[in-house]
Amino acid sequence: MNELVEITNVSKSYDGRNNVLTDVSLKLPKGKIVGLLGPNGSGKTTLIKMMNGLLQPSGGSIHIAGCPVGVESKARVAYLPDRTYLSGNRTVSEIIEFFCDFYQDFSREKAAAMLSSLDIPYSQRLKSMSKGTKEKMQLVLVMSRNADLYILDEPIAGVDPAARDYILRTILSNYNPESTVLISTHLIGDIEKVLDEVVFLRRGQIVLYTSVDNVREQHGKSVDDYFREVFAC
């Protein structure tokens, strides 16, 4: 069992007529940082939601570490959604307690170390945080788990370049070689050098799955530039 994620012939339609995803098959190994790249509306978030059991595929199957998506797989996947589900009234320490109760693999020590390096006090309420701090706070929660798979939906979209660097460093320094990180984004340039592999999604289909250095070797340009070429409007 080398594959951590096995997506087999997955299709998804919200209205029964138009497919958001069509016959997507993808295997992700352990120990990689993978970029899920595609323009708006290409199906990135839909695929991620199905990997987390928030949506059901219309056809096909998804297995994570050998289990179909469900209670067992959720215990092994740390998921950063594209929007928050946390109540703004909660303080940092309440949220940390909540996560400790909820996830067996949550590490208080990791969270404490990251929060102190970010100067986020435990007494602060979520609603009093800036947008960027909120995003960092949520990344801290996700990266404090010792999961097999981290799925980050647009982790760097709303933050300034310095905060982006911090987020990327956090991902790099907390990632362990046994786990895989899947990052969806359209801000490729900022994230390219931390990725092993990239998946290009276009109109609900995978058009490319290769390594970053392969793209650079074959095309003599960055993944960012190649993306702009492939998806030129």
Partner 1 sequence: MAWNLDCDRPIYLQLVERIQKQIVSGQYRPGSRLPSVRELAAIASVNPNTMQKAFTELERGGLIITQRTNGRIVTEDQNMIDNVRREMACKHTDEFFRRMEEIGYTRQESIERILKFSEREERGE
CB 37 to partner 1: min, Å: 15
Asked whether 112 and 122 are in contact (CB, 8 A), the reply is no
Q: Can you say whether the dihedral through the CA atoms of 199, 18, 149, 118 is positive or negative?
A: positive
Closest CB to partner 1 among residues 96, 188: 188
CB 124 to partner 1: min, Å: 27
SS3 category, 80:
strand
Asked whether 197 and 37 are in contact (CB, 8 A), the reply is no
Closest CB to partner 1 among residues 20, 183: 183
CB 144 to partner 1: min, Å: 18
What is the dihedral angle through the alpha carbons of 202, 203, 206, 207, rounded to the nearest 10 degrees? Answer: -50
CB 222 to partner 1: min, Å: 4
Question: Which residues have CB under 8 Å from 23's CB, separation 6+?
Answer: 9, 10, 11, 60, 205
Q: Transcribe 179-232 into DSSP letters.
A: SEEEEEES-HHHHGGG-SEEEEEETTEEEEEEEHHHHHHHHSS-HHHHHHHHT-
CB 163 to partner 1: min, Å: 14
Closest CB to partner 1 among residues 16, 177: 177
Cα 32 → chain centroid:
12
CB 189 to partner 1: min, Å: 8
CB 193 to partner 1: min, Å: 5
Closest CB to partner 1 among residues 146, 222: 222
d(CA 126, CA 103): 20
Closest CB to partner 1 among residues 68, 189: 189
In the complex, the residues that contact partner 1 under the rule CB under 8 A are 31-33, 165, 168-169, 172-173, 175, 177, 189, 192-196, 212-213, 216-217, 220-222, 224-225
Closest CB to partner 1 among residues 24, 171: 171
Closest CB to partner 1 among residues 125, 216: 216
The gap between the terminal CA atoms of the chain, to the nearest Å, is 40
